Amino acid sequence: MKNKLIGILLYKDDVILDVLRWDFGPWPDVALTTLFPDITHAIWQKDAIIVSSSLVTNGLIKDVLIVTSPIRFSDQIVSQVKIYDKSSMQQEKLVYLPSLGGSIDMDAILMDNVEAMCVHRLDGSILIVNAAFERMFDWTADEITHASTSFIPESLKEQWHDCLSLLQAGITMPSIETSRSRRDGRMLDVRLAMAPIMDDQAQLFAVLCFLRDITPIKRLEQNFSKSVAELRVAEKKLREKDKLSIVGTMAAGMAHEIRNPLTSIQGFVQLIADRLQDDPVLLRYVHIVIDEVKRANHLLVDFLQLSRMRPINVIESSLSEVVNDVVTSLEFIAKEKNVRVEVVVEGTQEAHRMLFDENQIKQVLHNIIKNAIEASFHAGIVTVIVGKDYLSHEGYVEVIDQGDGMKREDIDRLGIPFFSTKKGGTGLGLSVSYSIIQAHQGRIEVDSTVKKGTKFRICLPDKEKLQAMKTRQDADT
């Protein structure tokens, strides 16, 4: 049943300007405040006031609902009053607002409001919605009030009941951020404000909701928080890097200092060994001490290399000669494993003359060829190819084995200090090698297949590039 409209008046400052509709016979020539004695002037000045009143005219007393809304003409505000017959209103839509001390018509409140609004029954179903609501959620009023699917998402039902408990207890609810579903199932982030609607016994029987779409703000917020989170991670990494570099410098200093007493120990133990020729048991112990001191010293040399304490000293040398020297020094280890190391020299000896730090490149080749021997199966072959790329003028050494090979994740960890899959391996060999090659502005490429073998390719830049680097280094020192 439609609410019965019984009067529409236009007024300004409580003086009636026009009577657009009046169902009570002739219009009485009185001021509004006289006509509706319980409505004060203050109320007229507010926007969209709805209040219950009684109208006495022609000896009749009628309970009416008065809805005022301002109409603006340039700088003037003229108000419009609509008067409804309360007795004709649907009971369910007549609600009691304690603050105004009377019943109000929900349709009237929602009608022209630009904000999406709806009235919920306590079970969450919807009683009334306005046009802004229909636009925002793509539901028609008829569909949503008869919908079997819920407008409040299942996961937020508990939040809804919590809000009801607060409203029921008379606690004013602040607006909350939550979600509501559109007709197509898409969720909208909304800011929801709720006002309790009480029945005549001042019991909560429905809730008036104001909903504002905050999806774009939320999206902005999310992007912002993501950027902040990324910044924090980057900042943390930087700080860790800083910490690491401080710890690294301290450790390198310590390693350097430890080498001095080790050199003395090694020297004196060697002297003791010379005097113990007649005592084979003690001599064996002393030799163990010497071996262990050598091992510790070796570790420290690797560690210092890793922390780049030693600058590179490039001189012109032959890459193929260096390769041959290293292979010779590894003969014993290869023989122990019954592995054959073959050297293939591509191009002329002259072509292999390059600028590099001989000792350091020897160390790299030693580490990589030793690894290849260690990875080889019994009676395997390690092939070492040395040559020069005529296009890029880079020198290269390829070390190819047919051994264990590596998994993808292990290849990715190569060069990380202390990464080792070997019993007793320090995991420093490749770290040192990578840092040496990096200092030479070269690169190491790895290709590996599990159980088939591995190829390491070490590339060194051409003479000109290294010469330029050497000049820069000389200028720095």
Q: Closest by alpha carbon to 17, among 73, 84, 85? A: 73
CB of 158 to ligand ATP, least distance (A): 53
Both structure tokens of 278: 């007649």
- Work out which of 178, 181, 318, 367 binds ligand ATP, going by CB under 6 A: 367
- Work out which of 14, 138, 404, 462 binds ligand ATP, going by CB under 6 A: 404
Radius of gyration of the chain (CA): 45
| 364 binding ligand ATP? (CB under 6 A) | no
| 401 binding ligand ATP? (CB under 6 A) | yes
| 406 binding ligand ATP? (CB under 6 A) | yes
Residues near Mg ion (CB under 5 A): 371, 429
- Work out which of 24, 205, 377, 419 binds ligand ATP, going by CB under 6 A: 419
- Ranked by CB distance to Mg ion, the top (closest) residue is 429
CB of 370 to Mg ion, least distance (A): 6
- Work out which of 51, 126, 209, 430 binds ligand ATP, going by CB under 6 A: 430
The partner in contact with residue 37, picked from Mg ion, ligand ATP, none with C-beta cut-offs of 5 to 8 angstroms by kind, is: none
Kindly tell me which of 161 and 452 has the beta carbon lying closer to ligand ATP: 452
Kindly tell me which of 371 and 435 has the beta carbon lying closer to Mg ion: 371
C-alpha span between 401 and 91 (Å, rounded): 91
| 383 binding ligand ATP? (CB under 6 A) | no
Q: Within 10 A of 63 (CB to CB), how many other CB atoms are there?
A: 15
Subset of 128-167 contacting ligand ATP (CB under 6 A): none
C-alpha span between 219 and 20 (Å, rounded): 48
Q: Which residues contact 231 (CB under 8 A, 6 or more apart)?
A: none
Kindly tell me which of 68 and 376 has the beta carbon lying closer to ligand ATP: 376
- Work out which of 387, 403, 442, 461 binds ligand ATP, going by CB under 6 A: 403
Helix 358-375 with 429-439: angle, nearest 10 deg = 140
CB of 432 to ligand ATP, least distance (A): 8
Kindly tell me which of 181 and 371 has the beta carbon lying closer to ligand ATP: 371
- The binding track of 437-476 with respect to ligand ATP, each residue x by CB under 6 A or -, is -----------------x----------------------
Piece of the chain touching ligand ATP by CB under 6 A; list 199-207, 250-258, 352-360, 426-434:
426-434
Piece of the chain touching ligand ATP by CB under 6 A; list 62-70, 246-254, 267-275, 420-428:
420-428
| 429 binding ligand ATP? (CB under 6 A) | yes
- Work out which of 241, 295, 422, 452 binds ligand ATP, going by CB under 6 A: 422
Q: Binding residues for ligand ATP, how many (CB under 6 A)?
A: 22
CB of 287 to ligand ATP, least distance (A): 21
| 377 binding ligand ATP? (CB under 6 A) | no
Piece of the chain touching ligand ATP by CB under 6 A; list 37-45, 80-88, 171-179, 367-375:
367-375
Q: Closest by alpha carbon to 249, among 300, 311, 296, 308? A: 308
- Work out which of 192, 293, 372, 459 binds ligand ATP, going by CB under 6 A: 372
Binding site for ligand ATP (CB under 6 A): 367, 371-372, 375, 401, 403-404, 406, 410, 414, 419-422, 425-431, 454
